[in-house]
Protein backbone atom coordinates (compact mmCIF):
# COMPACT_ATOMS: atom_id res chain seq x y z
CA UNK A 1 0.00 0.00 0.00
CA UNK A 2 1.10 3.51 -0.71
CA UNK A 3 1.00 6.24 1.89
CA UNK A 4 0.43 9.61 0.37
CA UNK A 5 -1.54 12.76 0.70
CA UNK A 6 -4.33 13.70 -1.63
CA UNK A 7 -3.75 14.84 -5.16
CA UNK A 8 -5.99 16.65 -7.58
CA UNK A 9 -7.97 14.25 -9.70
CA UNK A 10 -11.08 14.24 -11.78
CA UNK A 11 -13.07 11.33 -10.46
CA UNK A 12 -16.71 11.58 -9.64
CA UNK A 13 -17.63 12.77 -6.21
CA UNK A 14 -21.17 11.55 -6.11
CA UNK A 15 -23.46 12.04 -3.27
CA UNK A 16 -25.44 8.96 -2.62
CA UNK A 17 -28.82 10.38 -3.10
CA UNK A 18 -30.93 7.68 -1.75
CA UNK A 19 -29.26 4.76 -0.47
CA UNK A 20 -26.45 5.94 1.42
CA UNK A 21 -24.55 7.71 -1.15
CA UNK A 22 -22.01 10.37 -0.74
CA UNK A 23 -20.97 13.79 -1.90
CA UNK A 24 -21.34 14.08 -5.54
CA UNK A 25 -18.53 13.52 -7.92
CA UNK A 26 -19.20 11.43 -10.92
CA UNK A 27 -16.73 8.90 -12.15
CA UNK A 28 -15.42 8.92 -15.64
CA UNK A 29 -15.50 5.59 -17.39
CA UNK A 30 -12.75 5.96 -19.90
CA UNK A 31 -13.86 7.96 -22.90
CA UNK A 32 -17.50 7.24 -22.12
CA UNK A 33 -17.67 9.29 -18.97
CA UNK A 34 -16.34 12.80 -18.89
CA UNK A 35 -14.19 13.67 -15.94
CA UNK A 36 -16.27 14.76 -12.99
CA UNK A 37 -15.06 18.12 -11.79
CA UNK A 38 -18.27 19.05 -10.05
CA UNK A 39 -17.85 20.10 -6.45
CA UNK A 40 -19.79 18.21 -3.83
CA UNK A 41 -23.09 19.84 -4.10
CA UNK A 42 -25.68 17.18 -4.31
CA UNK A 43 -27.00 15.02 -1.59
CA UNK A 44 -26.83 11.31 -1.49
CA UNK A 45 -27.77 9.36 1.49
CA UNK A 46 -25.42 6.99 3.18
CA UNK A 47 -26.14 4.16 5.45
CA UNK A 48 -24.31 2.98 8.48
CA UNK A 49 -25.67 -0.30 7.26
CA UNK A 50 -25.70 -3.16 9.67
CA UNK A 51 -26.15 -6.07 7.38
CA UNK A 52 -24.76 -9.53 7.86
CA UNK A 53 -26.41 -12.70 9.02
CA UNK A 54 -26.10 -13.72 12.65
CA UNK A 55 -22.68 -15.11 13.53
CA UNK A 56 -21.59 -17.36 16.35
CA UNK A 57 -18.30 -18.21 17.98
CA UNK A 58 -17.19 -21.56 16.56
CA UNK A 59 -15.79 -22.52 19.98
CA UNK A 60 -18.60 -21.77 22.42
CA UNK A 61 -21.61 -20.95 20.24
CA UNK A 62 -22.02 -17.45 21.66
CA UNK A 63 -23.49 -14.77 19.39
CA UNK A 64 -20.78 -12.52 18.01
CA UNK A 65 -20.81 -9.63 15.60
CA UNK A 66 -19.16 -8.80 12.32
CA UNK A 67 -16.59 -6.43 13.82
CA UNK A 68 -15.64 -8.52 16.90
CA UNK A 69 -12.00 -9.42 17.51
CA UNK A 70 -12.66 -11.62 20.57
CA UNK A 71 -15.50 -13.64 22.00
CA UNK A 72 -16.77 -12.06 25.22
CA UNK A 73 -17.78 -15.46 26.65
CA UNK A 74 -14.86 -17.83 25.98
CA UNK A 75 -12.20 -15.16 25.19
CA UNK A 76 -11.24 -16.87 21.93
CA UNK A 77 -9.75 -14.70 19.23
CA UNK A 78 -12.15 -14.24 16.34
CA UNK A 79 -11.56 -13.94 12.63
CA UNK A 80 -13.91 -13.83 9.67
CA UNK A 81 -13.08 -16.32 6.91
CA UNK A 82 -14.47 -14.79 3.68
CA UNK A 83 -14.04 -18.01 1.72
CA UNK A 84 -16.17 -19.91 4.26
CA UNK A 85 -18.40 -16.88 4.97
CA UNK A 86 -18.35 -17.44 8.71
CA UNK A 87 -16.72 -16.24 11.89
CA UNK A 88 -14.14 -18.61 13.36
CA UNK A 89 -12.56 -18.88 16.81
CA UNK A 90 -8.81 -19.24 17.35
CA UNK A 91 -6.26 -19.58 20.09
CA UNK A 92 -2.80 -18.05 19.74
CA UNK A 93 0.32 -19.86 20.89
CA UNK A 94 3.42 -18.18 22.27
CA UNK A 95 4.86 -18.29 18.77
CA UNK A 96 1.95 -16.16 17.58
CA UNK A 97 0.61 -19.16 15.70
CA UNK A 98 -3.14 -19.22 15.19
CA UNK A 99 -4.85 -22.55 15.92
CA UNK A 100 -8.40 -23.00 14.74
CA UNK A 101 -10.99 -23.97 17.38
CA UNK A 102 -14.32 -25.72 16.98
CA UNK A 103 -15.14 -27.34 13.68
CA UNK A 104 -12.34 -28.72 11.54
CA UNK A 105 -11.27 -27.06 8.33
CA UNK A 106 -8.41 -25.29 6.60
CA UNK A 107 -5.83 -23.31 8.54
CA UNK A 108 -5.89 -19.52 8.52
CA UNK A 109 -3.67 -16.65 9.49
CA UNK A 110 -4.81 -13.14 10.43
CA UNK A 111 -4.71 -10.28 7.97
CA UNK A 112 -1.47 -8.32 8.31
CA UNK A 113 -3.59 -5.26 9.10
CA UNK A 114 -5.16 -6.75 12.21
CA UNK A 115 -2.93 -4.80 14.59
CA UNK A 116 -2.66 -1.74 12.36
CA UNK A 117 -6.36 -1.04 11.82
CA UNK A 118 -8.36 -3.76 13.58
CA UNK A 119 -9.07 -5.89 10.52
CA UNK A 120 -10.57 -9.17 11.72
CA UNK A 121 -10.57 -10.97 8.37
CA UNK A 122 -8.41 -14.02 7.78
CA UNK A 123 -6.35 -15.37 4.89
CA UNK A 124 -5.76 -19.03 4.15
CA UNK A 125 -2.42 -20.17 5.56
CA UNK A 126 -1.56 -21.91 2.30
CA UNK A 127 -2.02 -18.72 0.28
CA UNK A 128 0.76 -16.28 -0.55
CA UNK A 129 -1.23 -13.32 0.71
CA UNK A 130 -0.39 -11.47 3.90
CA UNK A 131 -3.49 -9.31 3.56
CA UNK A 132 -7.11 -10.41 3.48
CA UNK A 133 -9.32 -10.26 0.41
CA UNK A 134 -10.60 -6.79 1.26
CA UNK A 135 -7.34 -5.18 2.37
CA UNK A 136 -5.58 -6.37 -0.78
CA UNK A 137 -7.65 -3.91 -2.78
CA UNK A 138 -6.43 -0.85 -0.84
CA UNK A 139 -3.75 0.94 -2.81
CA UNK A 140 -3.36 4.21 -0.89
CA UNK A 141 -3.92 5.06 2.75
CA UNK A 142 -3.57 8.43 4.50
CA UNK A 143 -0.28 9.39 6.16
CA UNK A 144 -0.24 7.70 9.57
CA UNK A 145 2.02 10.36 11.04
CA UNK A 146 -1.26 12.06 12.02
CA UNK A 147 -2.83 10.24 14.93
CA UNK A 148 -6.41 10.90 13.79
CA UNK A 149 -5.72 9.25 10.44
CA UNK A 150 -5.35 5.87 12.15
CA UNK A 151 -9.00 6.02 13.16
CA UNK A 152 -10.13 7.27 9.77
CA UNK A 153 -8.31 4.46 7.99
CA UNK A 154 -9.78 1.86 10.35
CA UNK A 155 -13.30 3.20 9.79
CA UNK A 156 -12.88 3.18 6.01
CA UNK A 157 -11.60 -0.39 5.97
CA UNK A 158 -14.41 -1.55 8.24
CA UNK A 159 -17.01 -0.11 5.88
CA UNK A 160 -15.20 -1.68 2.91
CA UNK A 161 -15.25 -5.11 4.57
CA UNK A 162 -19.02 -4.83 4.92
CA UNK A 163 -19.21 -4.01 1.23
CA UNK A 164 -17.08 -7.03 0.33
CA UNK A 165 -19.17 -9.25 2.57
CA UNK A 166 -22.19 -8.44 0.41
CA UNK A 167 -20.35 -8.85 -2.88
CA UNK A 168 -19.15 -12.28 -1.75
CA UNK A 169 -22.66 -13.23 -0.67
CA UNK A 170 -23.94 -12.19 -4.09
CA UNK A 171 -21.24 -14.23 -5.82
CA UNK A 172 -19.85 -11.27 -7.76
CA UNK A 173 -16.22 -11.22 -8.95
CA UNK A 174 -13.97 -9.00 -6.81
CA UNK A 175 -10.52 -9.05 -8.45
CA UNK A 176 -7.88 -6.61 -7.29
CA UNK A 177 -5.65 -4.62 -9.60
CA UNK A 178 -2.48 -6.39 -8.45
CA UNK A 179 -3.78 -9.65 -9.87
CA UNK A 180 -5.91 -8.20 -12.68
CA UNK A 181 -4.71 -4.73 -13.71
CA UNK A 182 -7.38 -4.42 -16.40
CA UNK A 183 -10.55 -5.47 -14.59
CA UNK A 184 -9.48 -5.29 -10.96
CA UNK A 185 -10.54 -3.02 -8.09
CA UNK A 186 -8.36 -0.56 -6.23
CA UNK A 187 -9.18 1.88 -3.42
CA UNK A 188 -7.40 5.12 -2.60
CA UNK A 189 -8.10 6.82 0.73
CA UNK A 190 -6.86 10.37 0.31
CA UNK A 191 -6.49 13.37 2.57
CA UNK A 192 -7.07 16.90 1.38
CA UNK A 193 -3.95 18.82 2.33
CA UNK A 194 -4.71 22.18 0.70
CA UNK A 195 -7.97 23.94 -0.23
CA UNK A 196 -6.77 24.17 -3.83
CA UNK A 197 -6.33 20.40 -4.04
CA UNK A 198 -9.83 19.09 -3.74
CA UNK A 199 -10.24 15.39 -3.05
CA UNK A 200 -13.38 14.09 -4.70
CA UNK A 201 -14.94 10.75 -3.97
CA UNK A 202 -15.49 8.77 -7.13
CA UNK A 203 -14.71 5.92 -9.48
CA UNK A 204 -12.42 5.79 -12.51
CA UNK A 205 -11.79 2.52 -14.37
CA UNK A 206 -11.82 0.35 -11.26
CA UNK A 207 -10.09 2.88 -8.98
CA UNK A 208 -12.38 4.12 -6.20
CA UNK A 209 -11.24 7.21 -4.32
CA UNK A 210 -12.61 8.38 -0.98
CA UNK A 211 -11.83 11.53 0.95
CA UNK A 212 -10.85 10.42 4.45
CA UNK A 213 -12.75 13.39 5.91
CA UNK A 214 -15.85 11.26 5.35
CA UNK A 215 -14.61 9.03 8.16
CA UNK A 216 -14.87 11.96 10.60
CA UNK A 217 -18.40 11.78 11.99
CA UNK A 218 -18.61 15.50 12.73
CA UNK A 219 -17.32 16.44 9.29
CA UNK A 220 -19.64 14.02 7.55
CA UNK A 221 -22.63 15.31 9.49
CA UNK A 222 -21.71 18.88 8.59
CA UNK A 223 -21.62 17.93 4.91
CA UNK A 224 -24.90 16.06 5.23
CA UNK A 225 -26.65 19.08 6.68
CA UNK A 226 -25.11 21.53 4.22
CA UNK A 227 -26.23 19.34 1.34
CA UNK A 228 -29.67 18.68 2.84
CA UNK A 229 -29.14 14.93 2.79
CA UNK A 230 -31.44 12.71 4.85
CA UNK A 231 -28.58 10.27 5.50
CA UNK A 232 -24.87 9.90 4.78
CA UNK A 233 -22.53 7.02 5.72
CA UNK A 234 -19.22 5.56 4.68
CA UNK A 235 -20.86 2.33 3.60
CA UNK A 236 -23.18 4.32 1.37
CA UNK A 237 -20.18 5.82 -0.41
CA UNK A 238 -18.73 2.39 -1.07
CA UNK A 239 -22.04 0.99 -2.29
CA UNK A 240 -22.57 3.79 -4.76
CA UNK A 241 -19.04 3.81 -6.19
CA UNK A 242 -18.92 0.04 -6.58
CA UNK A 243 -22.10 0.39 -8.61
CA UNK A 244 -20.18 2.34 -11.26
CA UNK A 245 -17.53 -0.36 -11.29
CA UNK A 246 -20.06 -3.13 -11.91
CA UNK A 247 -21.81 -1.11 -14.60
CA UNK A 248 -18.52 -1.12 -16.48
CA UNK A 249 -18.01 -4.81 -15.89
CA UNK A 250 -21.53 -6.22 -16.27
CA UNK A 251 -23.52 -3.85 -18.48
CA UNK A 252 -21.27 -1.73 -20.68
CA UNK A 253 -21.00 -3.10 -24.23
CA UNK A 254 -23.06 -6.19 -23.33
CA UNK A 255 -26.52 -7.39 -24.39
CA UNK A 256 -27.85 -5.82 -21.17
CA UNK A 257 -27.19 -2.32 -22.55
CA UNK A 258 -30.42 -2.10 -24.57
CA UNK A 259 -32.69 -2.86 -21.63
CA UNK A 260 -30.56 -0.67 -19.39
CA UNK A 261 -31.13 2.33 -21.67
CA UNK A 262 -34.88 1.66 -21.80
CA UNK A 263 -35.04 1.86 -17.99
CA UNK A 264 -32.30 4.30 -16.97
CA UNK A 265 -31.76 6.35 -20.13
CA UNK A 266 -28.92 6.67 -22.61
CA UNK A 267 -25.59 6.97 -20.77
CA UNK A 268 -24.01 8.42 -23.91
CA UNK A 269 -25.60 11.78 -23.05
CA UNK A 270 -22.92 14.33 -22.13
CA UNK A 271 -22.17 13.78 -18.46
CA UNK A 272 -20.75 17.17 -17.48
CA UNK A 273 -23.59 18.97 -19.22
CA UNK A 274 -26.17 16.79 -17.50
CA UNK A 275 -24.65 17.41 -14.08
CA UNK A 276 -24.40 21.15 -14.65
CA UNK A 277 -28.04 21.24 -15.70
CA UNK A 278 -29.03 19.18 -12.68
CA UNK A 279 -27.38 21.57 -10.25
CA UNK A 280 -28.95 24.62 -11.87
CA UNK A 281 -32.38 23.20 -12.68
CA UNK A 282 -32.93 19.93 -10.77
CA UNK A 283 -35.92 17.93 -11.93
CA UNK A 284 -38.85 18.71 -9.66
CA UNK A 285 -40.72 15.56 -10.62
CA UNK A 286 -37.87 13.15 -9.81
CA UNK A 287 -39.90 11.24 -7.12
CA UNK A 288 -42.12 9.87 -9.90
CA UNK A 289 -39.30 7.90 -11.56
CA UNK A 290 -36.15 7.90 -9.44
CA UNK A 291 -34.91 6.69 -6.08
CA UNK A 292 -33.27 10.08 -5.41
CA UNK A 293 -32.97 13.53 -6.89
CA UNK A 294 -29.36 12.84 -7.76
CA UNK A 295 -30.35 9.71 -9.64
CA UNK A 296 -32.25 11.94 -12.06
CA UNK A 297 -29.06 13.79 -13.08
CA UNK A 298 -27.70 11.19 -15.53
CA UNK A 299 -28.28 7.49 -16.36
CA UNK A 300 -24.93 6.55 -14.81
CA UNK A 301 -25.98 8.10 -11.52
CA UNK A 302 -29.43 6.54 -11.69
CA UNK A 303 -27.76 3.14 -12.02
CA UNK A 304 -25.31 3.77 -9.16
CA UNK A 305 -27.99 5.14 -6.84
CA UNK A 306 -30.31 2.24 -7.58
CA UNK A 307 -27.46 -0.27 -7.29
CA UNK A 308 -26.61 1.08 -3.83
CA UNK A 309 -30.27 0.77 -2.96
CA UNK A 310 -30.27 -2.85 -4.13
CA UNK A 311 -27.36 -3.68 -1.80
CA UNK A 312 -29.16 -1.94 1.04
CA UNK A 313 -32.26 -4.03 0.42
CA UNK A 314 -30.22 -7.26 0.20
CA UNK A 315 -28.39 -6.61 3.46
CA UNK A 316 -31.42 -5.29 5.32
CA UNK A 317 -33.53 -8.33 4.51
CA UNK A 318 -30.71 -10.72 5.35
CA UNK A 319 -30.25 -9.13 8.76
CA UNK A 320 -33.96 -9.10 9.51
CA UNK A 321 -34.37 -12.72 8.40
CA UNK A 322 -31.34 -13.95 10.33
CA UNK A 323 -32.79 -12.47 13.52
CA UNK A 324 -36.07 -14.28 12.89
CA UNK A 325 -38.03 -11.08 12.36
CA UNK A 326 -41.77 -11.71 12.32
CA UNK A 327 -44.21 -8.84 11.88
CA UNK A 328 -47.72 -9.59 13.10
CA UNK A 329 -49.07 -6.39 11.54
CA UNK A 330 -47.04 -5.57 8.42
CA UNK A 331 -50.15 -3.67 7.30
CA UNK A 332 -53.28 -2.76 9.28
CA UNK A 333 -55.36 -5.55 7.78
CA UNK A 334 -52.75 -7.78 6.14
CA UNK A 335 -51.48 -11.22 7.18
CA UNK A 336 -48.45 -11.72 9.42
CA UNK A 337 -45.06 -11.59 7.75
CA UNK A 338 -42.02 -13.77 8.35
CA UNK A 339 -39.11 -11.93 6.78
CA UNK A 340 -37.12 -13.83 4.17
CA UNK A 341 -33.70 -12.99 2.74
CA UNK A 342 -33.44 -12.20 -0.94
CA UNK A 343 -33.28 -15.32 -3.08
CA UNK A 344 -30.51 -14.74 -5.60
CA UNK A 345 -32.00 -17.45 -7.83
CA UNK A 346 -35.38 -15.73 -8.00
CA UNK A 347 -36.20 -14.61 -11.51
CA UNK A 348 -37.82 -11.44 -10.18
CA UNK A 349 -37.83 -9.50 -6.90
CA UNK A 350 -40.79 -7.21 -7.63
CA UNK A 351 -43.08 -9.00 -5.20
CA UNK A 352 -40.37 -9.28 -2.54
CA UNK A 353 -39.81 -5.51 -2.60
CA UNK A 354 -43.50 -4.79 -2.02
CA UNK A 355 -44.39 -7.60 0.37
CA UNK A 356 -41.13 -7.94 2.31
CA UNK A 357 -38.94 -4.86 2.16
CA UNK A 358 -41.54 -2.11 2.43
CA UNK A 359 -43.05 -3.44 5.72
CA UNK A 360 -39.59 -4.02 7.19
CA UNK A 361 -38.42 -0.51 6.28
CA UNK A 362 -41.61 1.00 7.75
CA UNK A 363 -40.99 -0.88 10.98
CA UNK A 364 -37.38 0.34 11.11
CA UNK A 365 -38.49 3.94 10.65
CA UNK A 366 -41.15 3.57 13.33
CA UNK A 367 -38.48 2.33 15.77
CA UNK A 368 -36.18 5.20 14.81
CA UNK A 369 -38.88 7.74 15.61
CA UNK A 370 -39.64 6.03 18.91
CA UNK A 371 -35.98 6.47 19.83
CA UNK A 372 -35.87 10.08 18.70
CA UNK A 373 -33.68 9.35 15.69
CA UNK A 374 -33.98 10.23 12.01
CA UNK A 375 -35.55 7.68 9.68
CA UNK A 376 -32.97 5.13 8.59
CA UNK A 377 -34.89 4.62 5.38
CA UNK A 378 -36.18 7.97 4.08
CA UNK A 379 -37.17 6.67 0.64
CA UNK A 380 -40.26 5.99 -1.42
CA UNK A 381 -40.09 3.17 -3.94
CA UNK A 382 -42.29 3.90 -6.95
CA UNK A 383 -43.06 1.39 -9.74
CA UNK A 384 -40.32 2.63 -12.15
CA UNK A 385 -37.75 2.15 -9.37
CA UNK A 386 -39.04 -1.36 -8.71
CA UNK A 387 -38.41 -2.16 -12.37
CA UNK A 388 -34.87 -0.81 -12.13
CA UNK A 389 -34.16 -2.77 -8.97
CA UNK A 390 -35.49 -5.90 -10.63
CA UNK A 391 -33.21 -5.30 -13.62
CA UNK A 392 -30.19 -4.95 -11.35
CA UNK A 393 -31.17 -8.18 -9.62
CA UNK A 394 -31.25 -10.00 -12.94
CA UNK A 395 -27.86 -8.60 -13.92
CA UNK A 396 -26.39 -9.69 -10.58
CA UNK A 397 -28.03 -13.11 -10.93
CA UNK A 398 -26.40 -13.59 -14.32
CA UNK A 399 -23.01 -12.40 -13.10
CA UNK A 400 -23.03 -14.64 -10.04
CA UNK A 401 -24.06 -17.62 -12.17
CA UNK A 402 -20.94 -17.22 -14.26
CA UNK A 403 -22.65 -15.63 -17.22
CA UNK A 404 -20.07 -12.86 -17.10
CA UNK A 405 -19.59 -10.70 -20.20
CA UNK A 406 -16.28 -10.70 -21.99
CA UNK A 407 -15.27 -7.34 -20.55
CA UNK A 408 -14.99 -8.98 -17.12
CA UNK A 409 -12.77 -11.79 -18.27
CA UNK A 410 -9.00 -11.53 -17.85
CA UNK A 411 -7.07 -10.44 -20.95
CA UNK A 412 -5.53 -13.11 -23.17
Band (pLDDT 50/70/90 cuts) for residue 30 is very low
pLDDT exceeding 90 applies to what percent of the chain?
68
Query: CA-CA distance, 109 to 122, in Å (whole number)?
Result: 6
Residue 280 has pLDDT above 70, yes or no: yes
CB contact set of 47 (below 8 Å; sequence gap of 6+): 19, 20, 231, 233, 235, 236, 239, 312, 376
Instruction: Give the residue ranges of DSSP H helices in 23-146.
Output: 114-117
Band (pLDDT 50/70/90 cuts) for residue 408 is low
pLDDT tens-digit map of 134-183: 999 999 999 999 999 999 999 999 999 999 999 999 999 999 999 999 99
Q: How does the average pLDDT of the chain come out, rounded? A: 84
pLDDT exceeding 70 applies to what percent of the chain?
85
- The better pLDDT of the pair 34, 1 is held by 1
pLDDT for residue 33: 34
CA 203 to chain centre: 13
Query: CA-CA distance, 53 to 256, in Å (whole number)?
Result: 31
pLDDT for residue 223: 86
How many CB atoms lie under 10 A from the CB of residue 401?
A: 11
Is residue 339 within 8 Å of residue 356, measured between CB atoms?
yes
Q: What is the DSSP code string of 200-257?
A: --EEETTEEEEEGGGGSHHHHHHHHHHTT-S---HHHHHHHHHHHHHHHHHTTTSTHH
pLDDT for residue 34: 30
92-96, 175-179, 188-192, range with the lowest pLDDT: 92-96
Query: CA-CA distance, 171 to 30, in Å (whole number)?
Result: 26
Query: CA-CA distance, 315 to 107, in Å (whole number)?
Result: 29
CB contact set of 295 (below 8 Å; sequence gap of 6+): 17, 18, 286, 301, 302, 305, 306
Residue 216 has pLDDT above 80, yes or no: yes
pLDDT tens-digit map of 111-125: 999 999 999 999 999
Q: What is the mean pLDDT of residues 69-97?
A: 92
pLDDT tens-digit map of 328-371: 988 888 899 999 999 989 999 999 999 999 999 999 999 999 99
Query: CA-CA distance, 133 to 167, in Å (whole number)?
Result: 12
Kindly report whether the global pTM for this prediction surpasses the value 0.75.
Answer: yes
Strand 207-211 relative to strand 86-92: parallel, antiparallel, unpaired? unpaired
pLDDT tens-digit map of 307-335: 999 999 999 999 999 999 999 988 888 89
Q: What is the mean pLDDT of residues 56-75?
A: 94
Q: What is the mean pLDDT of residues 13-32?
A: 33
Amino acid sequence: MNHRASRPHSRDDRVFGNLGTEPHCESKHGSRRASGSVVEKHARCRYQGAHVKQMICSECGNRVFFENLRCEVCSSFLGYAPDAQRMLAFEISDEDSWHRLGSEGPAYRPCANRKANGCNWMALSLSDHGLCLSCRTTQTIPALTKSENHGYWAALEQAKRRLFYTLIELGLPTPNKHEDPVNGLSFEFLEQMHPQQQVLTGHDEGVITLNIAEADDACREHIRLSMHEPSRTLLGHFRHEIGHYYWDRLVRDTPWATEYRSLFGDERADYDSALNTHYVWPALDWPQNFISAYASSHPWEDWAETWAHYLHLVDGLETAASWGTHLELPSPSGPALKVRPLDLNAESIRELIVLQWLPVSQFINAMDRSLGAHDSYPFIIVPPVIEKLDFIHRVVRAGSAGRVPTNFLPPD
